[in-house]
């Protein structure tokens, strides 16, 4: 069982907005090393958000990130069918000196 | 552009040692601004961090695997390796080598599937 908790699945229609939550303990999110990964079948995961709310080059601004207290959130607006994937949150827990991952959320674009 | 490529046996017997190598091109492992490490994904499950290191600094391991894991860098500094001892079926997974800035896996290899079976 993962230390960080994500909903198993979320869904929304094309063009709509979806949010994916990631919850843990206060120490898990004390630092700013929170990241989110998009994993399409048959490919390697790809980072879409790092340091809570930063987007790597090439990631559209439809993707956003935030954190508050014991949770972090990934937001995706203007959903496209190409966004269908598994999404994983991750946080570097400085107290535990451990990199924690969530169990993953399957996004379905209906 | 940084590229990572995993290699190693696809089949390991129970109780034996899993050994994988990650070949690095486009960057130097000796760059201490980046961490290097391994993440795995068991069939039907989520991502599981194994461990990470900075070249001349500390190495971090997943506490649940620490007693069985060793990571090292070869003298050419173009490859790093993973050894996982006393494997069981639970260690069957796709293993990815990764690299990146602190707290993020910017680059991933394509992954290599390792099956533990007799």
Asked if A61 and A54 touch (Cβ cutoff 8 Å), the reply is no
The secondary structure of A58-101 as a DSSP string is T--TTEEEEEETTEEEEEE-S--GGG-EEEEEEEEETTTTEEEE
pLDDT digit string, tens, across residues B13-35:
999 999 999 999 999 898 888 99
pLDDT at A41: 87
What pairs with residue A65 in β-bridges? A74
Residues of B in contact with A37 (CB under 8 A): 47, 105
Q: Compute the distance between CA of residue A62 and CA of residue A78 in angstroms, rounded to an integer.
A: 7
Q: Encode chain A (110 residues) as per-residue pLDDT tens digits.
A: 678 999 999 999 999 999 999 999 888 998 899 999 999 988 999 999 999 999 999 999 999 999 998 999 999 999 999 999 999 999 999 888 899 999 999 999 99
pLDDT at A80: 97
Q: What average pLDDT is seen over chain B?
A: 95
Nearest to B100 by CA among A61, A33, A23, A93: A33
B60/A33 CB distance under 8 A: no
Residue in chain A closest to B37 (alpha carbons) equals A99
Neighbours of A104 (CB within 10 A): 24
């Amino acid at each position: 069982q993962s230390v960080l908790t994500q909903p198993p699945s979320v869904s929304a229609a094309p063009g709509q907005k979806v949010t994916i939550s990631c919850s843990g303990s206060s120490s898990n999110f004390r630092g700013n090393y929170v990241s989110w990964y998009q994993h399409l079948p048959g490919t390697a995961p790809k980072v879409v958000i790092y340091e809570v709310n930063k987007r790597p080059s090439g990631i559209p601004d439809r993707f956003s990130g935030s954190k508050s207290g014991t949770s972090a959130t990934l937001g995706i607006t203007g959903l496209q069918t190409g966004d269908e994937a598994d999404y994983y949150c991750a946080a570097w827990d400085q107290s535990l000196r451990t990199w924690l991952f969530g169990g993953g959320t399957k996004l379905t674009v209906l | 552009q940084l590229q990572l490529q995993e290699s190693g046996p696809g089949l390991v017997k129970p109780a034996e040692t899993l050994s994988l190598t990650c070949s690095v091109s486009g960057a130097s492992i000796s760059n201490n601004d980046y961490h290097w490490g391994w993440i795995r994904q068991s069939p039907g499950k989520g991502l599981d961090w194994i461990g990470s290191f900075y070249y001349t600094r500390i190495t971090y391991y997943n506490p649940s695997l620490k007693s069985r894991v060793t990571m090292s860098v070869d003298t050419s500094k173009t490859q790093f390796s993973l050894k996982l001892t006393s494997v069981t079926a639970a260690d069957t997974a796709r293993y990815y080598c990764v690299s990146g800035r602190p707290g993020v896996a910017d680059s991933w290899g394509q992954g290599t599937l390792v099956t533990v079976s007799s």
